[in-house]
Amino acid sequence: MGFKVVAEDALRQLERDLMAYGCAVEQLPAGELNSCGWRVRFQAPSGHHFELYADKEYTGKWGLNDVNPEAWPRDLKGMAAVRFDHALMYGDELPATYDLFTKVLGFYLADKVLDENGTRVAQFLSLSSEAHDVAFIHHPEKGRLHHVSFHLETWEDLLRAADLISMIDTSIDIGPARHGLTHGKTIYFFDPSGNRNEVFCGGDYNYPDHRPVTWTTDQLGKAIFYHDRILNYGFMTRLW
């Protein structure tokens, strides 16, 4: 997973900060990815690799013109996702990963799940006013991926997305539904290559000085799927 940073000097500063924090850092050259400048790669304690970059071809918001832009582009196809929203990672060492993301990268904790001993078993991190930009769930194996999520605008768009999934007989996992955590609205589905994807809309707004919201593991079903209030088999068993 990669994050775009605001500018070249911020990228260099973050690289220094990561090294000072004790992270092994790797530089990847400009152009290795299409239309992308040089990147800094590092591994979080959870086992996941992340990348930072400052230069990226600018396509505009949803492809709209920068001057007098219409409400939306007329030639959208399919679900019409507005942007990448977040990813959910499974791995261990949540406290160390939390420290890295909050102390070095500027994230703050928006939502968390505590088990019966008060141990944080899930952490949802934001660096904007969005519900979350990346999330981690405790798992004994490092570096696993649960899903990536794309942003839709409305609950109507989620219905439309679910209809489209059915029209082409793509495998759906769950939804349309609401999450308890973040209160966002969701569909999980498996694309033809088998990856779990989410389309997501809504979700609580956050600011860095908000107290994190806590869900407790005895309410985990409701925390994940607010309406069904149980974790379904598909959600729990497939990781990458």
C-beta atoms surrounding 133 within 10 Å: 20
Residue written as token pair 């694309």: 191
Active site residue 188: yes
Q: Does 203 bind a copy of itself (CB under 8 A)?
A: no
105 backbone dihedrals φ, ψ, rounded to 5°: -100, -5
40: helix, strand or coil: strand
Interface segment toward a copy of itself; rule CB under 8 A; list 17-25, 35-43, 89-97, 219-227: 219-227
110, 124 Cβ separation under 8 angstroms: yes
Q: Does 32 bind a copy of itself (CB under 8 A)?
A: no
Q: Does 69 bind a copy of itself (CB under 8 A)?
A: yes
Active site residue 86: yes
Applying CB under 8 A, among 154, 191, 195, 236 the residue interacting with a copy of itself is 154
- Amino acid at site 166: S
Residue written as token pair 């299409």: 34
Q: Does 118 bind a copy of itself (CB under 8 A)?
A: no
Catalytic residue among 90, 139, 151, 198: 198
Q: Does 183 bind a copy of itself (CB under 8 A)?
A: yes
Q: Does 66 bind a copy of itself (CB under 8 A)?
A: yes
Q: Does 67 bind a copy of itself (CB under 8 A)?
A: yes
Q: Does 227 bind a copy of itself (CB under 8 A)?
A: yes
**How is residue 142 written in tokens?**
């490092």
Catalytic residue among 53, 130, 132, 151: 132
Report DSSP letters for 107-156, one per residue.
-EEEEEEE-TTS-EEEEEEESSSSS-SEEEEE-SSSSEEEEEEEE-S-HH
CA distance 3 to 101: 12
Residues that bind a copy of itself (CB under 8 A): 4-7, 58, 60-61, 66-72, 74, 82-83, 128-130, 151, 153-156, 159, 162-167, 169, 172, 175-178, 180, 183, 185, 202, 204-205, 207-216, 219, 222-223, 226-229
